[in-house]
Structure 1
Amino acid sequence: MSFIKTAVALSAGLLFSGLAQAHPKLLSSTPAEGAEGAAPAKIELHFSENLITKFSGAKLVMTAMPGMSAHAPMAMAARVSGSDDPKTMVITPNAPLTAGTYQVQWRAVSSDTHPITGNVTFKVK
C-alpha cells in the first residue's frame, strides 16, 4: 500500500508542477517598461505561453498629462488582438497617442486557465 500512496503522491506532484509552469509570464513589451519616446502605433506584449485570446485582454490608460498634475487616469480607446505568434498580445490605439504617461493593464490566460494580471508603463514625448 505504501508504494501505491507514494506513486499517487508523486504523480499528483508532477501534475501540479506542470500546471504551475503553464502560467503565462510577461517576457517583454514594445515599448518596454519605463521607455520614453515617440508614440507607438501599436503596443506588443510577449508572453511565455500561448494565450487564450478569448479570455485575455488589456486596457490602455493615460495616467499623466504634461502640465496637468491633477489629471485623473483616462481610458484610451484601443483594439486588443492576438498576433501570428500565439504568445503575443497586440494593443492598437484608435487614435495617435499624445504626450503623456500611459499604462497597459493586461490580463493573460493560457492553457491552465488561471488569469495573470500586470501592467506596463511608458511615456510618449
Structure 2
Amino acid sequence: MSFIRTAVVTVALSTGLLISGLAQAHPKLLSSTPAEGAEGAAPAKIELHFSENLMSKFSGAKLLMTGMPGMSAHSPMPMKAKVSGSDDPKTMIITPNAPLTTGTYQVQWRAVSSDTHPITGNVTFKVK
C-alpha cells in the first residue's frame, strides 16, 4: 500500500509542477512606449514589450481613439495601423497609418507565446 501512496503523491507533485511551469509561460506585458497613462506628442509607433517570445501569427493589436477634444460622447473609433513584430521576438509594434491627432488612444492587444494560451490587455495614452 505504501508504494501505491508514494506513486500517487509523486504523480500529483509532478503534475502540479508541470502545470505551474506552463502557467509561468504566459506572456506578460512588461512595458510599452508610450507607457500606460502617458501624455505627450503623437508617437510614430507604439511598442509593446512582453516577457515571452510571441507567436506573431496568433498575436495582434487594435488601435482605437477613445476620446477626442470637444466630443465627450463618441464611441471608440478604430484607427488604421500596421501591427508587426520586431527584431526582438518579445516586442510587438503598432504603426499608425496616419499621424495621431490630439486625443486619448487605447491599444487593445492579444499576445500568444509558445504555450498557445492567449493573453489580452490594453494600454491607454493621450496625445496632446
What is the TM-score of this pair, normalised by structure 1? 0.97
Query: Whole-Å Cα distance in 2 between the matches of residues 10 and 72 of structure 1?
Result: 50
Aligned AA for 2:73? A
- Within a 5 Å distance, the mapping from 1:41-80 to structure 2 comes to 41-80=44-83
Query: Whole-Å Cα distance in 1 between the matches of residues 95 and 76 of structure 2?
Result: 19
Query: Whole-Å Cα distance in 2 between the matches of residues 71 and 99 of structure 1?
Result: 15
- Residue aligned with 2:16, SS: helix
Structure 2 runs not aligned, ≥5 long: none
Calculate percent identity across the aligned residue pairs: 85
Residue in structure 1 matching 2:9, options 6, 10, 13: 6
Between 29-38 and 4-13, the greater mean CA deviation after superposition: 4-13
Between 78-87 and 2-11, the greater mean CA deviation after superposition: 2-11
Residue in structure 2 matching 1:38, options 41, 51, 55: 41
Structure 1 runs not aligned, ≥5 long: none
Query: Whole-Å Cα distance in 2 between the matches of residues 86 and 69 of structure 1?
Result: 38
Query: Whole-Å Cα distance in 2 between the matches of residues 84 and 6 of structure 1?
Result: 44
Between 4-13 and 25-34, the greater mean CA deviation after superposition: 4-13
Aligned residues: CA RMSD: 0.7
Alignment partner, residue 108 of structure 1: 111
Alignment partner, residue 84 of structure 2: 81
Aligned AA for 1:83? S
The structure that has the greater radius of gyration is 2
Alignment partner, residue 93 of structure 1: 96
Alignment partner, residue 21 of structure 1: 24
Query: Whole-Å Cα distance in 1 between the matches of residues 45 and 102 of structure 2?
Result: 15
